[in-house]
Amino acid sequence: MHILLSNDDGIHAPGIAALYEAVRDLGEITVAAPDSQKSAVGHAITISDPIKVMPVDKGNGFRGYAIGGTPADSVKLAVEALLPHPPDLIISGINLGPNAGISVIYSGTVSAATEGTILGIPSIAISINTFTEPRWATAAVVARDVANQVAREGLPPGILLNVNVPNIPVEDVKGYTVTTMARSQFKEVFHRRTDPRGNLYYWMDGDMELAPGQTGTDVQALIAGHVSITPLHFDLTSHAALDSFRSRWNR
């Protein structure tokens, strides 16, 4: 099996190193990830500038490419130009911080896996539910487990798995739960500041708020100590609304 690893935290991030160690013996591993931090860039791709590629060898077998572009660029370029054959599996992560609820829309980690799915390759995004003191070992165990199962069973066409792991010791994980993406939004606060030259700038901060009355969501699973596994697809059509809009708009 040939596995392509990517992320949005950059090729030198500890999360992708932990992911490499978790799956390195499952097959041939190639790493293609942004050369620097690219969190929250969503599914952006580079079309107006060249994309630079630098070989990386971090020792211990960790070899790959630092891509001067986005997570989606990294996967697209690896599959279409850098590799002699498409990989059998793509894993994006391990992301520092959860990609649950509305964060999925902004996530470069999820977008790298989405790009793999667009290209017809089974793909997984994996994130850990913390921004401080991550227990990489827990997420690594989960990543290996999910990768093995997807390698054996595959995924339906057009579907990727978004996996979020609670930041607790692996023995305390309550199990795996298939979830929905929580309905939520960020409540931002923009702090107004001035730089030493008197120029105005803003620093964004805020928290995610959940819509009330939900059950079975990714956010709730994480709070309860479960690994959240959410099947996602990139067809953004609201199929439930089609008949209503056809009756109003079709002429």
pLDDT above 80 (res 162):
yes
Cis peptide before 94 (omega within 30 of 0): yes
Q: Helix, strand or coil for residue 128?
A: strand
107-134 pLDDT, tens digit each? 999 999 999 999 999 999 999 999 999 9
pTM (two decimals): 0.93
The angle, 0 to 180 degrees and rounded to 10, between the axes of the packed helices 136-153 and 14-23 is 50
Query: Tokens 């097959």 belong to which residue?
Result: 27
Per-residue confidence at 181, pLDDT binned at 50, 70, 90? very high
**Which pLDDT does position 185 carry in this prediction?**
82
Name the E strands within 47-154: 53-57, 63-67, 89-96, 123-128
Q: What is the mean pLDDT of residues 87-106?
A: 96
Q: pLDDT digit string (tens) for 7-55?
A: 999 999 999 999 999 999 999 999 999 999 999 999 999 999 999 999 9
Helices (H) and strands (E) in the chain, counts: 7, 11
* CB-CB contact of 143 with 160 (8 Å): no
What pLDDT does residue 44 have? 95
Are 203 and 190 a contacting pair, CB within 8 Å?
A: yes
pLDDT digits (tens, 9 = 90+) for 229-241: 999 999 999 999 9
Strands 2-6 and 176-178: unpaired
3-state secondary structure 160-193: EEEEEECCCCHHHCCCEEECECCCEEEEEEEEEE
Percent of the chain with pLDDT over 70: 100
Q: How far apart are CA 66 and CA 47, in angstroms?
A: 18
Alpha carbons 70 and 223: distance in angstroms, whole number: 30
Q: Label residue 186 by pLDDT band (50, 70, 90).
A: confident
Instruction: Please give the mean pLDDT across all residues of the chain.
Output: 95
pLDDT at 67 over 90: yes
Backbone φ, ψ for residue 249 (5° rounding): -110, -25
